Structure 1
Amino acid sequence: MSSVSPVVWGLLDDRPGHATQVQGIGDALPWPMVEKHMGFGWLSRFDVRILGASVVGLNRKARSALEPPWPDLLITCGRRCLPVARWIKKQAGGRTRIVHVMRPAVSTDIDLLVLPHHDRKLTHEEVEVVRVTGAPHRVSARRLNEARERMAQRFAHLPRPRLAVLAGGPARHVQYRRDWARDLGLRAMALAQSMGGSLMVTTSRRTGETSAAELEATLKLPHVSWKPGDPGENPYLGMLALADAIVVGVDSVSMMSEACATGKPVYVYGGDKLVGHKLKMLVARLFKEGRIVALGDPFDHTPPPPLDSAGLVARVVMERAELWFPPVARVNGTLSEAR
């Protein structure tokens, strides 16, 4: 019998920020990952400790996608996917290994917990923890190189240095003032002017139409801007790849983590508006690691190596592979020890 790779599933939450973390770790592993898209019903609102190991929080379509052969490795993120992961492990007779991202209410059945430094420490001692800076993501060197080649002509007319501006919007833990978009645009333009360069600007759905228009109105330099709903491919990755420096709002853990994955100077906007403890901890850590400076301050040092939390998690999993996944062979659609 010939040995085969472990079967890997990723449970994708309907929240993009959660799904991206699972996909990022899946991208970093040397094995293909099957994506299982989760849809939830009202029962998913219950506490994980009440739901236990169950699929009662899923809708019918999501439940129907879960059938054997069960995975050897399961990657999850967020509260609602954890009961489902524990249920799958139970169906597999405990053989499935679970890698879970973010602090859980219970650690039962988790084999490796990916816990951001900006999250609280886990009090449970029975689970192995790998601490990461920021959030796992999909901005890898390979994907940046592909985007650079694919989109080079789209931005070729912009004079260098090019400054990418990643605009989010007000959030639960970030209280921007009412004219934040205009303020961000003016300050980003001033930085680009001091460099003698141009701007590449992208907004998110949280930015809103009014703020996006206010931001656009400030841009008096050569620039390209994009907003959700615009035709054509989203140029976000291309902007990251082709930028010489990046401005990003502090309202998004994902965008800050992805900006720092480029290994380029990163300027953050809105650090004085933080009200959430977790975001304050993350921003403080990124400052300490030399990855960011406040927009308006000089970035006068060499940036550290690209932030690659997903790669770190993948390396830990690979170190455990021999113990977790003994040589296996596929027999009648199931996995068993090779002989």
Structure 2
Amino acid sequence: MRPDKTGRSGDQYFHLLGFPSVSRRNPPLGIRKLYFILTPQVETGLSDRLAADINLLITGVDAVAENALITWFITDDKPGHRHQLEGLEQALGRYTDLHERWIHTRGRLQGIQQALGIKAAPPPHLIVACGHRTHLPALLLRHRYGGRLIVLMRPSLPLRWFDLCVLPQHDPAPAVTEAPAAVEAPAAIDKVLRTEGVLNAITPAPAQDPTQGLVLIGGPSKHHAWDNGAIVAQLQRLKNALPEVQWTLTNSRRTPADFDAAVASTLDAQLTFVPVGQTPPGWLQQQLQQRGCVWVSEDSVSMVYESLSSGARVGLLEVPRRVPRKVPGKAPRKGHSRVTAGIDRLLAARRLTPLDYLVEQGDMLPAGEPLQEADRVAKYIVARKGWLA
């Protein structure tokens, strides 16, 4: 990068922040934004430079128990991102005395000024961020107050700027050594910890009713097209195959508006429909802990992994893919996405019941061990007290 009017180059500013040198003629957009924000007053007047870009709210109490793990959660308040953070927060609280603080950013460049002005008493051991808009504030918080920085999902900024990245298997793999799954590994920590799906706050219930079922419907996405008629036909087959089960169906914000009319013909005493707009907070988590079987349209990848975390038996409703399906025993064809590859891997492992299998066999596959990826990540972190010191 060219020097600014103070004579400093972008590399020198990144060095002041403790970031590795960036020596590219055309650095990534995120790095250019960071350079623009920080110049030319990194050392003396940074707070004045950033004053117009901020809208940040902080929640949390200041009383801290001795030996508590002080953790700051940086959120953009998108439901999916916040749900991942909440899952890790709850899991950490199950394995250590946790003192949490939530920092809410508004916009990609907002939050930085007040992030630098937070009265950190006490400073964090751990900063956890989820969502691209949280990365710059999180990096500056770590620079100012210390602590280890963990990001959930693949960052758009250089991986080496973060202490740990928790990445679902379907995210592209950075060219670094992956962290081992065993929590008994040495205190030294690698950059990447892989998980089965994104983290969530679902925990298995002690008992679920096998006569109560839940159907979760998504909608078109980058990886899937949509066909109302095909979904309705599968719902009818599902009802016929398991007539003893009472089903509750809900949709998502991605579901096409005309799906409500299309599904009306299949609704009866056995199948009721609760639109997502009529579900109160916490409704889905409660349903997953009560229902003995859950069927999910395959486009709803997060819902698939949440259902597998609940301990219920999980089935899959097919949705047209925008890329070819993988043929067992053959290499993936061109265009086969990592997201759909993850679904195919779960099918091959018999974690999910295909509808054809249910119709032919008359029953679903047994539930496997519930996925508890938030707990696994929490154990991995807590086992490395020396790394957090």
TM-score range, shorter chain: 0.7 to 0.9
- 2:356 corresponds, among 290, 296, 311, to 296
Q: Cα offset for 1:173?
A: 1.3
Residue in 2 that maps onto 1:192: 242
Taking the TM superposition and a 5 Å limit, the aligned residue runs for 1:212-251 are: 212-230=260-278, 235-251=283-299
Q: Write the letter of the residue equivalent to 2:370.
A: P
Q: Cα offset for 1:252?
A: 2.1
Q: Write the letter of the residue equivalent to 1:187.
A: R
Q: Write the letter of the residue equivalent to 2:165.
A: L
Unaligned ranges ≥5, structure 2: 1-63, 178-188, 324-335
Residue in 2 that maps onto 1:331: none
What TM-score comes out, normalization by structure 2 length? 0.67
- 1:33 corresponds, among 88, 97, 100, to 100
Kept in 2: contact 1:165–1:188 (CA 8 A): no
Per-residue CA shift, 1:209-240, capped at 9, x if unaligned?
42134224312343443213327565322321
Identity %: 23
In 1, Cα distance between equivalents of 2:279 and 2:191? 45
Q: Write the letter of the residue equivalent to 1:311.
A: D
Per-residue CA shift, 1:15-40, capped at 9, x if unaligned?
22122111111110021432222210
RMSD: 2.9
Residue in 2 that maps onto 1:74: 127
In 2, Cα distance between equivalents of 1:301 and 1:182? 22
What TM-score comes out, normalization by structure 1 length? 0.77
Greater relative CO, 1 or 2 (CA 8 Å, sep 6+): 1
The answer to whether structure 1 residue 171 and structure 2 residue 234 are counterparts is no
In 1, Cα distance between equivalents of 2:240 and 2:215? 12
The answer to whether structure 1 residue 97 and structure 2 residue 148 are counterparts is yes
In 1, Cα distance between equivalents of 2:242 and 2:116? 52
Mean Cα displacement is larger for which, 196-205 or 300-309? 300-309
In 2, Cα distance between equivalents of 1:60 and 1:197? 52
In 2, Cα distance between equivalents of 1:301 and 1:314? 30
The number of residue pairs the alignment matches comes to 293
In 2, Cα distance between equivalents of 1:172 and 1:74? 31
Q: Cα offset for 1:250?
A: 1.5
Q: Cα offset for 1:305?
A: 0.6
Q: Cα offset for 1:291?
A: 1.3
Q: Cα offset for 1:90?
A: 0.5
Residue in 1 that maps onto 2:195: 132
Taking the TM superposition and a 5 Å limit, the aligned residue runs for 1:273-284 are: 273=321, 275=323, 277-284=337-344
Kept in 2: contact 1:163–1:192 (CA 8 A): no
Structure-2 change in CA distance of 1:227 and 1:67 (3 Å): farther
Q: Cα offset for 1:175?
A: 0.7
In 2, Cα distance between equivalents of 1:64 and 1:288? 48
Q: Write the letter of the residue equivalent to 1:278.
A: R
Structure-2 change in CA distance of 1:104 and 1:60 (3 Å): closer
Structure-2 change in CA distance of 1:209 and 1:300 (3 Å): closer
Residue in 2 that maps onto 1:83: 136
Kept in 1: contact 2:308–2:371 (CA 8 A): yes
Per-residue CA shift, 1:268-317, capped at 9, x if unaligned?
11255253612212102212332112223236543221011111110100
In 1, Cα distance between equivalents of 2:114 and 2:288? 34
Q: Cα offset for 1:202?
A: 1.5
Provide the secondary structure at the position in 2 that maps to 1:314: helix
In 2, Cα distance between equivalents of 1:104 and 1:226? 36
Residue in 2 that maps onto 1:119: 171
Q: Cα offset for 1:110?
A: 1.6
Kept in 1: contact 2:226–2:319 (CA 8 A): no
Provide the secondary structure at the position in 2 that maps to 1:7: strand
Kept in 1: contact 2:231–2:317 (CA 8 A): no
In 2, Cα distance between equivalents of 1:2 and 1:178? 54
Unaligned ranges ≥5, structure 1: 45-56, 153-158, 326-339
In 2, Cα distance between equivalents of 1:231 and 1:246? 17
Residue in 2 that maps onto 1:335: none
Task: State which structure, 1 or 2, has the greater radius of gyration over its C-alpha atoms.
Answer: 2
Q: Cα offset for 1:2?
A: 7.7
Residue in 1 that maps onto 2:327: none
Structure-2 change in CA distance of 1:61 and 1:212 (3 Å): farther
Provide the secondary structure at the position in 2 that maps to 1:138: coil
Kept in 2: contact 1:192–1:199 (CA 8 A): no
Q: Cα offset for 1:68?
A: 2.2
In 2, Cα distance between equivalents of 1:65 and 1:310? 31
